[in-house]
Amino acid sequence: MQLKRVYLYDDPEMDGLDTEALGRYLRARLPQVAVEVRGEFFTHQLRRVAEEDQGTAARELAKQLRRAQVKDLVHPAERRASGREDPAELGLGPVYRAAALQAIMSVLLHSSEAGLDHLHIVLAGQAIGDWDETRQFRLRVACLGQPSIVSTVGLVEVPRRPRQYSFMRAHLVALGLEEDLDDLAEAFGRQALGYGDPRINDVLKGYALMAVFYRLYGEGPCADRTCRLYDAATQEELLACQCGPRTRLCRRHSEMLAAAGGRPE
């Protein structure tokens, strides 16, 4: 299968995000593909609705988003034996079930842009996740498919920060010194992404390519820790594979990209 068009949607709430630069990167890697950079996903899709129907469409969308929102981080099967865990305690704003959010977005795609040779990549300011096989709720960075969702919140919050940071953060919270958390994040800035961090633009290159490879080959992340397609578990791994001096695709994925008409780095 060959891709003909990629649509890249902006997250206007993320400071320092350069979606146009990410679009240029994808064009360089996929010279045979038309890459179009768009505004925020829901705003763009609702704009296609007739003006007199936009209010109704927006209310229906809001209703569906509320259904996809996670109100309790305890798995439904465990709720009788466990207390409620409020996602608001994560301090991340609304949290959505990844597959449910993806399904809502998928329905909004215009039929002319929903073919197998089209790919929509949504940079989303919402936190996404789901319950894993152990019935623990896990935040995720990305949900691949059509569309592919990359959570800009997840880039900062999902890969684990250094152990010392976690220890010191818990200590500050226990002492009621939340006002010092920004200073702590700044102190560990070189070792972990923060909000407004310009390195997010480099990290997104790998996740955008993950979406492309998933669309082309149906493959998930790479097991090679040096490959741009590696799904990093820690901030250290994330920065190493996406922002390091030897950032690249592994040999196998470079060959696969070339076979699809692309240009590896």
Task: Give the pLDDT confidence of 189-218 residue by residue, as tens digits.
Answer: 567 888 888 999 999 999 999 999 999 999
Q: How confident is the model at residue 222 (pLDDT cuts 50, 70, 90)?
A: very high
Mean pLDDT of 144-156: 96
What sign has the CA pseudo-torsion 98, 154, 27, 253? Answer: negative
**Structural domain boundaries in the chain:** 5-259
pLDDT at 178: 60
Is the separation of the CB atoms in 75 and 137 below 8 Å?
Answer: yes
Q: For residue 137, give the H/E element and its range.
A: strand 137-140
Please state, for a pLDDT cut of 70, what percent of the chain lies above it: 90
pLDDT at 172: 63
Tokens for 180? 């010092």
Tokens for 235? 């901030």
Q: For residue 22, give the H/E element and its range.
A: helix 19-29
What does the DSSP 8-state code read for residue 162?
P
- Is 25 buried (19+), middle (13-18) or exposed (0-12) by CB count in 10 A? buried
In degrees and rounded to multiples of 5, residue 57 shows phi and psi of -65, -40
Is the separation of the CB atoms in 9 and 44 below 8 Å?
Answer: yes
pLDDT at 167: 64
Task: Give the pLDDT confidence of 86-101 residue by residue, as tens digits.
Answer: 988 888 889 999 999 9
pLDDT at 230: 95
251-259 and 200-217 helices, crossing angle to 10°: 60
Nearest alpha carbon to residue 5 among 116, 118, 110:
118
Residue 86, SS3?
coil
Mean pLDDT of the residues in the chain: 91
Tokens for 258? 């070339």
CATH: 3.40.390.10, 3.40.50.620, 3.40.50.10440, 3.30.360.10. Which one for 5-259? 3.40.390.10
Between CA 70 and CA 264 the distance in angstroms is: 39
pTM, two decimals, is 0.91
pLDDT at 246: 82
pLDDT at 173 over 70: no
Is the separation of the CB atoms in 216 and 260 below 8 Å?
Answer: yes
Nearest alpha carbon to residue 202 among 152, 243, 241, 244:
243
pLDDT at 112: 95
pLDDT at 56 over 60: yes
Count of CB atoms situated within 10 Å of the CB of 93: 12
pLDDT at 84: 86
Distances from the Cα of 168 to the Cαs of 46, 53, 158, 171, in angstroms?
Answer: 44, 51, 18, 5
